[in-house]
A and B are shown apart, each in its own frame.
Chain A
Amino acid sequence: MKAPAFEYVLPESLAEVHEALSEARASDVVAKILAGGQSLVPLMNFRLARPDRLVDINRIGALRYHDSAAASLRVGALCRHADIEKNRHLVARVGALADAIPLIGHAAIRSRGTVVGSLAHGDSLAEWISLALLLDGTVLLSSTAGERVVPAGEWLQGYLKTAAEDDEIVREASFSLPGDSDGTAFVELARRHGDFCLVSAGAFLALGERGTIASARVVLAGIGPVPFRDQAIESLLAGEPATAETFERVVEALPKSGAQDDVHATAAYRHHAIGVITVRALMTAARRAQDQRR
């Protein structure tokens, strides 16, 4: 399983990246960004991905940052999963990150793989794709033509298919951070630790004055071609008490179809399991929101 031949380009600046990408597009040549490579290179070794040109951005140190000073978390293109994992303050603040990040592959993958790379790669079971939806994220695209922002809800169009144009690089991703009366949680069900999930559920609960749910976000993965926010459930949750009884009731409204059978689980199992873990995610989010308020 040796990667097919490709042209290797090592830019030293973002401008050079833009140049390499737009030149590729103009010459009808497929160019891909190489950041962590933890998703792309295995596909190249299988010869399932065959970019003509790899643009290695690892020299552009200025892209390795993350910044959570204000109400949002901004993550540069070279920020590794491990950089976030090691930010104890941030992880303590956002329960969903504490839950999800340790489940991204394994330690060696997290030390090299990047948050933005995961979003750009577009695997519909990747944790960051769901987290972007859960935390009202946006993706900042950059090219010779300038920059534009794509909200998380419009980002993933299908398996490995994002809203990015061929000549654009994701320069940064941004996530809004929960407030003081908010609780978040992320629950994955996988056959083994570190595997891609069978299904996952992300929950965000903002509690109102009397402990009822002011607003909710529920992100589901594994029961459709891409993760999505279940707006039906979100509306059912609004105004309700944040209790197990509420949660057990609202999950009746989960979609009953959309998942596929595969070697790891049946579609029917996924639809059964998503109900179970959505309740668990909501309960944890509720508990965290309640704990915060005390």
Chain B
Amino acid sequence: MSGGAEGKQIRPIRTVVNGAPIEGTVPVRQSLADWLRDGLGLTGTHLGCEQGVCGACTVMVDGEPTRSCIMFAVQADRSEILTIEGLAGTGDSLHPLQEAFSERHGLQCGFCTPGMIMACLGYLNGEGPHSRSGLRRYLSGNLCRCTGYMKILEAVEEAAQQMGVSWS
């Protein structure tokens, strides 16, 4: 029963993406990740598994870190989405997490990085207490093959300090 009328079903959605209101129509079967990447050209969000395991596709949906590969774009109707492209403010400055990841070398190939940073943002935004071991558990859903995680943890601790998030 694939293809046919169901294959063509599209629906309108209204969202706010990185602070900007976006109205569009999406094929219902299209994932949020694919819509962000192909529909809106926001290719910073990456696909590592399309199974919800690696975390590379993590974006914020209504303030919650969300695996955009296992959410349909149509479900983002009436939601606010924040991707890596929207994390820095306007101008040249980066978000403290981006700054810290860069300075501390919390990345190498950069493919897991946008999702990793969004997940870390979720961690820092969440209720504490915050600690390195808590961060490790939180990040167990974000795979990195390059860094061995050490410098990611150091980067988040640095960013926490910049952001005034207390750390134990």
| Chain A interface residues toward B at CB < 8 A | 1-8, 34, 37-38, 41-42, 45-46, 50, 52, 54, 56, 58, 82, 86, 102, 105-109, 111-112, 192-194
Partner of A42, one of B6, B9, B70, B72: B70
B124 within 8 Å of A (CB atoms): no
User: Which residues from chain A contact B141 at a C-beta distance below 8 Å?
Assistant: 105-109, 194
User: Which residues from chain A contact B53 at a C-beta distance below 8 Å?
Assistant: 42
Q: Which of B86-120 contact A (CB under 8 A)?
A: 119
The chain A residue sitting closest to B137, CB to CB, is A193
Instruction: Please judge, given known A-B contacts A5-B29, A112-B64, whether A46 and B6 are in contact too, CB under 8 Å.
Output: no
9 contacts between A and B (CB under 8 A): A1-B51, A6-B6, A8-B72, A45-B50, A54-B28, A106-B142, A107-B138, A111-B64, A194-B140
Asked whether A111 lies within 8 Å of B51 as measured between CB atoms, the reply is: no
How many chain B residues sit at the interface, stated as a range, is: 35 or more
The chain B residue sitting closest to A3, CB to CB, is B29
The chain A residue sitting closest to B47, CB to CB, is A1
How far is the CB of B56 from the nearest CB of chain A, in Å?
12
Which 6 pairs across A and B sit closest by C-beta, in order of nearness?
A: A106-B141, A5-B7, A8-B28, A41-B70, A1-B50, A111-B64
B31 within 8 Å of A (CB atoms): yes
User: Which residues from chain A contact B1 at a C-beta distance below 8 Å?
Assistant: 52
Partner of B140, one of A34, A52, A193: A193
User: Which residues from chain B contact A50 at a C-beta distance below 8 Å?
Assistant: 2
User: Which residues from chain B contact A107 at a C-beta distance below 8 Å?
Assistant: 65, 119, 122-123, 126, 138, 141
Instruction: Please judge, given known A-B contacts A45-B69, A107-B141, A112-B71, whether A5 and B58 are in contact too, CB under 8 Å.
Output: no
Known: A5-B2, A107-B122, A193-B137. 16 other contacts (CB 8 A): A1-B50, A1-B51, A5-B4, A7-B9, A8-B74, A34-B72, A41-B71, A42-B53, A45-B50, A45-B51, A52-B6, A105-B141, A107-B123, A108-B122, A109-B67, A112-B66
Asked whether B58 lies within 8 Å of A58 as measured between CB atoms, the reply is: no
The chain B residue sitting closest to A4, CB to CB, is B2
